[in-house]
A = this chain, B = another copy of it.
């Protein structure tokens, strides 16, 4: 089984393409809420709501700077996702998959 359990909110947060794009943007440096919304054609509230989901998932941090809110990437929760996915890496190689199934069948019956 997967080693670590990522919080469900993280998987839900990154399920949306707009939010993934926002995280990618933050990879090239901190951005204000306005800057994060600019590449989209969404209204300001829609952007703000997406940012809230990312905040609630712990994927971004917010700090005030004047009247703007500067967002920064908080990649830690993605480690949980990486761990979950990495469990399946053992199956990426076909040969190992077959061996794994064989061993499983021998041990689980």
Q: Hey, which bits of chain A sit against chain B, CB under 8 A?
A: 1-2, 8, 11-12, 14-15, 17, 20, 23-24, 27-30, 72-73, 75-76, 78-79, 81-82, 84-89, 91-92, 97, 100-101, 104-105, 107-108
Q: Is the CB of A29 within 8 A of B101?
A: yes
Q: Which residues of B contact A76 (CB under 8 A)?
A: 92
A49 vs chain B, min Cβ distance (A): 17
- Choose among B24, B78, B82, B87 the residue that contacts A27 (Cβ–Cβ < 8 A): B87
For the A-B complex with A27-B88, A78-B88 known, give 15 more contacts whose Cβ atoms are closer than 8 Å.
Answer: A1-B27, A8-B17, A11-B14, A11-B17, A14-B15, A24-B87, A27-B87, A29-B107, A30-B104, A73-B91, A73-B97, A75-B91, A75-B92, A82-B86, A85-B85
